[in-house]
Structure 1
Amino acid sequence: MDYTSQGYDDVMGAIHLEGVLADRDAWQATRCSIGKAMEVIGTRSAMLIMREAYYGTTRFDDFAARVGITEAVASARLRELADAGLLERSPYREPGQRTRHEYLLTEMGRDLLPAVLALMQWGDKYLQDGKGAPLDLVENDTGEPVRVEVRGESGRAMPLEGLRIRPGEQYRARRLRRP
Protein backbone atom coordinates (compact mmCIF):
# COMPACT_ATOMS: atom_id res chain seq x y z
CA MET A 1 0.00 0.00 0.00
CA ASP A 2 1.30 3.48 -0.85
CA TYR A 3 0.91 5.46 2.37
CA THR A 4 2.33 8.66 0.85
CA SER A 5 -0.78 8.98 -1.29
CA GLN A 6 -2.88 8.88 1.88
CA GLY A 7 -1.12 11.70 3.69
CA TYR A 8 1.56 9.62 5.41
CA ASP A 9 4.33 11.62 3.81
CA ASP A 10 6.07 13.24 6.80
CA VAL A 11 8.79 10.65 7.39
CA MET A 12 8.71 7.19 5.92
CA GLY A 13 9.32 4.66 8.65
CA ALA A 14 7.57 6.79 11.28
CA ILE A 15 4.11 7.14 12.73
CA HIS A 16 2.21 10.08 11.28
CA LEU A 17 1.41 12.73 13.91
CA GLU A 18 -1.97 14.38 13.33
CA GLY A 19 -3.30 17.85 14.06
CA VAL A 20 -1.64 19.77 16.89
CA LEU A 21 0.82 16.88 17.32
CA ALA A 22 2.32 17.45 13.87
CA ASP A 23 4.48 20.31 15.20
CA ARG A 24 6.61 18.30 17.62
CA ASP A 25 8.31 21.47 18.88
CA ALA A 26 4.95 22.85 20.09
CA TRP A 27 4.20 20.13 22.66
CA GLN A 28 5.85 17.76 25.12
CA ALA A 29 4.78 14.26 26.03
CA THR A 30 4.26 15.10 29.71
CA ARG A 31 1.43 12.58 30.13
CA CYS A 32 3.04 9.88 27.97
CA SER A 33 1.57 6.47 28.71
CA ILE A 34 4.86 4.79 27.75
CA GLY A 35 6.69 6.87 30.35
CA LYS A 36 4.07 6.07 32.98
CA ALA A 37 4.28 2.34 32.16
CA MET A 38 8.07 2.40 32.43
CA GLU A 39 7.78 3.97 35.89
CA VAL A 40 5.93 0.81 36.93
CA ILE A 41 7.75 -1.97 35.06
CA GLY A 42 10.92 -0.26 33.83
CA THR A 43 13.46 -2.38 35.67
CA ARG A 44 14.86 -5.68 34.50
CA SER A 45 13.88 -7.35 37.77
CA ALA A 46 10.26 -6.10 37.51
CA MET A 47 9.90 -7.48 33.98
CA LEU A 48 11.43 -10.80 34.97
CA ILE A 49 9.16 -11.05 38.01
CA MET A 50 6.20 -10.49 35.68
CA ARG A 51 7.59 -13.19 33.37
CA GLU A 52 7.71 -15.58 36.30
CA ALA A 53 4.17 -14.64 37.35
CA TYR A 54 2.99 -15.56 33.83
CA TYR A 55 4.82 -18.89 34.21
CA GLY A 56 2.88 -19.55 37.43
CA THR A 57 5.35 -18.47 40.12
CA THR A 58 3.53 -17.09 43.18
CA ARG A 59 5.86 -17.42 46.17
CA PHE A 60 8.45 -14.86 47.28
CA ASP A 61 11.39 -17.28 47.53
CA ASP A 62 10.61 -18.71 44.10
CA PHE A 63 10.56 -15.26 42.48
CA ALA A 64 13.92 -14.36 44.02
CA ALA A 65 15.52 -17.66 43.02
CA ARG A 66 14.06 -17.88 39.49
CA VAL A 67 14.87 -14.25 38.63
CA GLY A 68 18.30 -14.45 40.30
CA ILE A 69 17.90 -11.42 42.54
CA THR A 70 18.50 -10.77 46.21
CA GLU A 71 15.66 -11.01 48.70
CA ALA A 72 15.87 -7.24 49.21
CA VAL A 73 15.40 -6.57 45.49
CA ALA A 74 12.63 -9.18 45.24
CA SER A 75 10.86 -7.61 48.20
CA ALA A 76 11.09 -4.11 46.74
CA ARG A 77 9.94 -5.15 43.24
CA LEU A 78 7.08 -7.33 44.46
CA ARG A 79 5.88 -4.48 46.70
CA GLU A 80 6.10 -2.00 43.80
CA LEU A 81 4.24 -4.33 41.42
CA ALA A 82 1.56 -5.01 44.04
CA ASP A 83 1.22 -1.29 44.89
CA ALA A 84 0.89 -0.52 41.17
CA GLY A 85 -1.89 -3.12 40.83
CA LEU A 86 -0.18 -5.73 38.62
CA LEU A 87 0.03 -8.32 41.39
CA GLU A 88 -2.07 -8.85 44.49
CA ARG A 89 -0.84 -10.21 47.77
CA SER A 90 -2.81 -13.16 49.07
CA PRO A 91 -2.11 -14.69 52.51
CA TYR A 92 -1.38 -18.39 52.87
CA ARG A 93 -0.15 -20.49 55.74
CA GLU A 94 1.50 -23.87 55.66
CA PRO A 95 1.03 -26.11 58.73
CA GLY A 96 3.34 -25.08 61.55
CA GLN A 97 4.54 -21.98 59.71
CA ARG A 98 3.74 -18.29 60.02
CA THR A 99 1.37 -16.60 57.58
CA ARG A 100 3.09 -15.56 54.34
CA HIS A 101 1.87 -13.97 51.15
CA GLU A 102 1.82 -15.21 47.61
CA TYR A 103 1.61 -12.89 44.62
CA LEU A 104 -1.15 -13.42 42.07
CA LEU A 105 -1.67 -11.71 38.73
CA THR A 106 -4.45 -9.13 38.61
CA GLU A 107 -6.39 -8.13 35.51
CA MET A 108 -3.96 -5.24 35.11
CA GLY A 109 -1.04 -7.67 35.28
CA ARG A 110 -2.63 -10.05 32.77
CA ASP A 111 -3.27 -7.11 30.42
CA LEU A 112 0.49 -6.44 30.30
CA LEU A 113 1.08 -9.87 28.71
CA PRO A 114 1.08 -8.71 25.04
CA ALA A 115 3.81 -6.16 25.79
CA VAL A 116 5.94 -8.77 27.57
CA LEU A 117 5.42 -11.27 24.76
CA ALA A 118 6.32 -8.59 22.20
CA LEU A 119 9.62 -8.03 24.04
CA MET A 120 10.23 -11.79 24.04
CA GLN A 121 9.50 -11.99 20.32
CA TRP A 122 11.78 -9.03 19.59
CA GLY A 123 14.57 -10.57 21.69
CA ASP A 124 14.14 -13.89 19.87
CA LYS A 125 14.56 -12.16 16.52
CA TYR A 126 17.40 -9.75 17.28
CA LEU A 127 19.30 -10.91 20.35
CA GLN A 128 19.75 -14.68 20.05
CA ASP A 129 22.78 -14.54 17.71
CA GLY A 130 20.99 -16.46 14.98
CA LYS A 131 20.42 -19.46 17.25
CA GLY A 132 16.64 -19.08 17.18
CA ALA A 133 14.14 -18.66 19.96
CA PRO A 134 14.95 -20.59 23.14
CA LEU A 135 11.20 -21.01 23.80
CA ASP A 136 8.25 -21.42 21.45
CA LEU A 137 4.96 -19.70 22.30
CA VAL A 138 2.09 -21.86 21.04
CA GLU A 139 -1.66 -22.20 21.47
CA ASN A 140 -2.55 -24.60 24.26
CA ASP A 141 -5.19 -26.50 22.25
CA THR A 142 -3.57 -26.66 18.81
CA GLY A 143 0.16 -26.25 19.36
CA GLU A 144 0.18 -23.60 16.64
CA PRO A 145 2.62 -20.68 16.97
CA VAL A 146 1.38 -17.43 18.53
CA ARG A 147 2.74 -13.99 17.54
CA VAL A 148 2.17 -10.47 18.80
CA GLU A 149 1.34 -8.02 16.00
CA VAL A 150 -0.09 -4.55 15.57
CA ARG A 151 -3.49 -4.89 13.91
CA GLY A 152 -6.31 -2.50 13.16
CA GLU A 153 -9.91 -3.15 14.21
CA SER A 154 -10.44 -4.80 10.81
CA GLY A 155 -7.80 -7.40 11.70
CA ARG A 156 -5.35 -6.14 9.09
CA ALA A 157 -1.66 -6.06 10.08
CA MET A 158 -0.42 -2.47 10.26
CA PRO A 159 3.13 -1.40 9.41
CA LEU A 160 4.70 1.56 11.22
CA GLU A 161 4.05 3.83 8.23
CA GLY A 162 0.36 2.90 8.30
CA LEU A 163 -0.19 4.33 11.79
CA ARG A 164 -1.00 7.82 12.98
CA ILE A 165 -1.39 9.36 16.39
CA ARG A 166 -3.90 12.07 17.15
CA PRO A 167 -4.87 13.88 20.34
CA GLY A 168 -6.98 11.68 22.61
CA GLU A 169 -10.69 12.12 23.09
CA GLN A 170 -10.28 13.88 26.47
CA TYR A 171 -7.94 16.46 24.90
CA ARG A 172 -10.31 17.05 21.97
CA ALA A 173 -13.26 17.46 24.38
CA ARG A 174 -11.31 20.02 26.50
CA ARG A 175 -10.43 22.02 23.38
CA LEU A 176 -14.11 22.19 22.39
CA ARG A 177 -15.13 23.49 25.84
CA ARG A 178 -12.65 26.38 25.83
CA PRO A 179 -14.15 29.84 25.17
Structure 2
Amino acid sequence: MDAQRTAAGQACSVARTMALLSDPWAVLIVRDVGRGIHRFDELARSLGVARTVLSRRLSALVESGIVERAGYREPGSRTRPEYHLTRRGRDLGVVLAAMMDFGDRHLAGPEGPPVVRRHAGCGAPVRLVGVCAEGHRLGAGDRVLLEPGPGAAPGSPAPDLEER
Protein backbone atom coordinates (compact mmCIF):
# COMPACT_ATOMS: atom_id res chain seq x y z
CA MET A 1 0.00 0.00 0.00
CA ASP A 2 1.43 3.40 -0.90
CA ALA A 3 1.89 6.28 1.55
CA GLN A 4 -0.99 8.29 0.07
CA ARG A 5 -3.53 5.50 0.65
CA THR A 6 -2.11 4.79 4.09
CA ALA A 7 -2.46 8.46 5.07
CA ALA A 8 -5.97 8.69 3.58
CA GLY A 9 -7.08 5.73 5.71
CA GLN A 10 -5.90 7.17 9.03
CA ALA A 11 -8.30 8.64 11.56
CA CYS A 12 -6.42 11.93 11.31
CA SER A 13 -7.56 15.06 9.48
CA VAL A 14 -3.98 16.19 8.83
CA ALA A 15 -3.08 12.82 7.25
CA ARG A 16 -6.23 12.81 5.11
CA THR A 17 -5.59 16.36 3.88
CA MET A 18 -1.99 15.51 3.08
CA ALA A 19 -3.14 12.44 1.14
CA LEU A 20 -5.37 14.73 -0.92
CA LEU A 21 -2.60 17.29 -1.50
CA SER A 22 0.45 15.03 -1.31
CA ASP A 23 1.62 15.95 -4.79
CA PRO A 24 3.21 19.43 -5.00
CA TRP A 25 1.59 20.01 -8.40
CA ALA A 26 -1.85 19.56 -6.84
CA VAL A 27 -1.16 22.32 -4.31
CA LEU A 28 0.19 24.66 -7.00
CA ILE A 29 -2.78 23.98 -9.28
CA VAL A 30 -5.17 24.86 -6.42
CA ARG A 31 -3.13 28.02 -5.79
CA ASP A 32 -3.26 29.12 -9.44
CA VAL A 33 -6.93 28.26 -10.01
CA GLY A 34 -7.68 30.22 -6.82
CA ARG A 35 -5.73 33.17 -8.26
CA GLY A 36 -7.95 33.19 -11.35
CA ILE A 37 -6.01 31.04 -13.81
CA HIS A 38 -8.78 28.79 -15.16
CA ARG A 39 -7.75 27.49 -18.57
CA PHE A 40 -5.55 24.48 -19.22
CA ASP A 41 -3.02 26.27 -21.44
CA GLU A 42 -2.72 29.15 -18.97
CA LEU A 43 -2.18 26.71 -16.10
CA ALA A 44 0.46 24.79 -18.06
CA ARG A 45 2.27 28.05 -18.88
CA SER A 46 2.02 29.45 -15.34
CA LEU A 47 3.23 26.27 -13.67
CA GLY A 48 5.76 25.16 -16.27
CA VAL A 49 4.46 21.61 -15.92
CA ALA A 50 4.19 18.93 -18.60
CA ARG A 51 0.71 18.81 -20.11
CA THR A 52 0.33 15.10 -19.29
CA VAL A 53 1.15 15.75 -15.63
CA LEU A 54 -1.25 18.70 -15.50
CA SER A 55 -4.01 16.66 -17.10
CA ARG A 56 -3.62 13.83 -14.56
CA ARG A 57 -3.49 16.20 -11.58
CA LEU A 58 -6.53 18.17 -12.75
CA SER A 59 -8.48 14.92 -13.22
CA ALA A 60 -7.56 13.83 -9.69
CA LEU A 61 -8.59 17.23 -8.26
CA VAL A 62 -11.92 17.05 -10.13
CA GLU A 63 -12.48 13.49 -8.86
CA SER A 64 -11.75 14.56 -5.28
CA GLY A 65 -14.20 17.47 -5.48
CA ILE A 66 -11.58 20.23 -5.12
CA VAL A 67 -11.89 21.56 -8.67
CA GLU A 68 -14.80 21.48 -11.10
CA ARG A 69 -14.59 21.44 -14.87
CA ALA A 70 -16.79 23.80 -16.91
CA GLY A 71 -16.93 24.45 -20.63
CA TYR A 72 -16.11 27.70 -22.38
CA ARG A 73 -16.06 28.49 -26.06
CA GLU A 74 -14.15 31.16 -27.92
CA PRO A 75 -15.96 32.39 -31.07
CA GLY A 76 -15.17 30.03 -33.95
CA SER A 77 -13.59 27.39 -31.69
CA ARG A 78 -14.69 24.16 -30.11
CA THR A 79 -15.80 24.02 -26.47
CA ARG A 80 -12.87 23.58 -24.10
CA PRO A 81 -12.68 23.01 -20.35
CA GLU A 82 -11.79 25.55 -17.74
CA TYR A 83 -11.37 24.87 -14.05
CA HIS A 84 -12.80 26.52 -10.93
CA LEU A 85 -12.44 25.77 -7.25
CA THR A 86 -15.44 24.17 -5.58
CA ARG A 87 -16.47 25.17 -2.07
CA ARG A 88 -14.20 22.37 -0.87
CA GLY A 89 -11.34 23.81 -2.92
CA ARG A 90 -11.94 27.36 -1.68
CA ASP A 91 -11.82 26.05 1.89
CA LEU A 92 -8.20 25.07 1.19
CA GLY A 93 -7.38 28.78 0.96
CA VAL A 94 -6.57 28.98 4.66
CA VAL A 95 -4.27 25.93 4.31
CA LEU A 96 -2.41 27.60 1.45
CA ALA A 97 -2.27 30.88 3.40
CA ALA A 98 -0.72 29.04 6.36
CA MET A 99 1.83 27.42 4.04
CA MET A 100 2.58 30.85 2.57
CA ASP A 101 3.04 32.37 6.04
CA PHE A 102 5.43 29.56 6.99
CA GLY A 103 7.41 30.02 3.78
CA ASP A 104 7.51 33.80 4.24
CA ARG A 105 8.80 33.43 7.80
CA HIS A 106 11.25 30.59 7.32
CA LEU A 107 12.10 30.17 3.63
CA ALA A 108 12.01 33.60 1.98
CA GLY A 109 15.31 34.94 0.75
CA PRO A 110 16.99 38.08 2.08
CA GLU A 111 14.86 40.22 -0.25
CA GLY A 112 11.70 39.08 1.56
CA PRO A 113 8.51 37.29 0.54
CA PRO A 114 7.52 37.26 -3.15
CA VAL A 115 3.85 38.11 -2.42
CA VAL A 116 2.22 40.06 0.42
CA ARG A 117 -1.48 39.56 1.25
CA ARG A 118 -3.19 42.89 2.03
CA HIS A 119 -6.69 43.75 3.20
CA ALA A 120 -8.44 45.48 0.28
CA GLY A 121 -10.32 47.73 2.72
CA CYS A 122 -7.38 49.37 4.49
CA GLY A 123 -4.21 48.05 2.86
CA ALA A 124 -2.82 46.43 6.02
CA PRO A 125 -1.04 43.08 5.74
CA VAL A 126 -3.26 40.06 6.44
CA ARG A 127 -2.27 37.58 9.16
CA LEU A 128 -3.79 34.27 10.14
CA VAL A 129 -4.97 34.16 13.74
CA GLY A 130 -6.50 31.46 15.89
CA VAL A 131 -9.90 32.20 17.40
CA CYS A 132 -11.99 29.85 19.54
CA ALA A 133 -15.72 29.35 18.95
CA GLU A 134 -16.45 31.86 21.74
CA GLY A 135 -14.48 34.54 19.86
CA HIS A 136 -11.35 34.57 22.04
CA ARG A 137 -8.23 35.32 20.02
CA LEU A 138 -5.47 32.86 20.85
CA GLY A 139 -2.03 34.22 21.61
CA ALA A 140 1.38 32.60 21.77
CA GLY A 141 0.98 31.66 25.46
CA ASP A 142 -2.52 30.19 25.18
CA ARG A 143 -2.86 26.42 25.52
CA VAL A 144 -4.91 24.45 23.02
CA LEU A 145 -5.90 20.98 24.18
CA LEU A 146 -6.43 18.09 21.78
CA GLU A 147 -9.19 15.62 22.64
CA PRO A 148 -10.85 12.78 20.76
CA GLY A 149 -13.53 13.95 18.36
CA PRO A 150 -16.56 12.10 17.02
CA GLY A 151 -14.43 10.61 14.22
CA ALA A 152 -11.76 9.18 16.53
CA ALA A 153 -10.92 5.52 16.05
CA PRO A 154 -13.02 3.35 18.39
CA GLY A 155 -11.14 2.44 21.53
CA SER A 156 -8.37 4.95 20.89
CA PRO A 157 -7.03 6.43 24.10
CA ALA A 158 -7.68 10.06 24.81
CA PRO A 159 -4.70 12.02 23.54
CA ASP A 160 -2.79 13.65 26.35
CA LEU A 161 -1.57 16.34 23.99
CA GLU A 162 -1.68 20.03 23.45
CA GLU A 163 -0.60 22.16 20.52
CA ARG A 164 2.47 24.25 21.13
Aligned residue number for residue 149 of structure 2: 168
What are the residue-to-residue correspondences of 1:117-156 with 2, within 5 Å? 117-153=97-133, 154-156=135-137
**The structure with more radius of gyration:** 1
When residues 77 and 172 of structure 1 are mapped into structure 2, their CA distance, relative to the original with a 3 A threshold, is: closer
From the two aligned structures, give the one with the greater strand fraction: 2
Contact 1:40 1:80 survives alignment (8 Å):
no
- For structure 1, the residue ranges without an aligned partner over 5 or more in a row are 1-28
Are positions 1:61 and 2:41 aligned together? yes
2:87 to 107, 113, 135: 107
Please give the root-mean-square deviation of Cα atoms over the aligned residues, in Å: 2.3
| SS of residue paired to 2:131 | coil
**1:155 CA drift (Å):** 3.1
What are the residue-to-residue correspondences of 1:12-51 with 2, within 5 Å? 30-51=10-31
Are positions 1:91 and 2:71 aligned together? yes
Contact 1:151 1:158 survives alignment (8 Å):
no
Distance in 1, matches of 2:24 and 2:38, equals: 18
Distance in 2, matches of 1:44 and 1:171, equals: 28
From the two aligned structures, give the one with the greater helix fraction: 1
Q: Which amino acid aligns with 1:133?
A: P
- For structure 2, the residue ranges without an aligned partner over 5 or more in a row are 1-8, 157-164
**1:160 CA drift (Å):** 7.9
Aligned residue number for residue 79 of structure 1: 59
Q: Which amino acid aligns with 2:108?
A: Q
State the identity as a percent.
35
Distance in 1, matches of 2:39 and 2:138, equals: 39
**1:136 CA drift (Å):** 1.0
Q: Count residues with an aligned counterpart.
A: 147
Distance in 1, matches of 2:68 and 2:136, equals: 33
**1:165 CA drift (Å):** 1.0
**1:30 CA drift (Å):** 2.4
**1:59 CA drift (Å):** 0.3
Distance in 2, matches of 1:119 and 1:170, equals: 26
Q: Which moved more, 1:144-153 or 1:64-73?
A: 144-153
**1:174 CA drift (Å):** 9.1
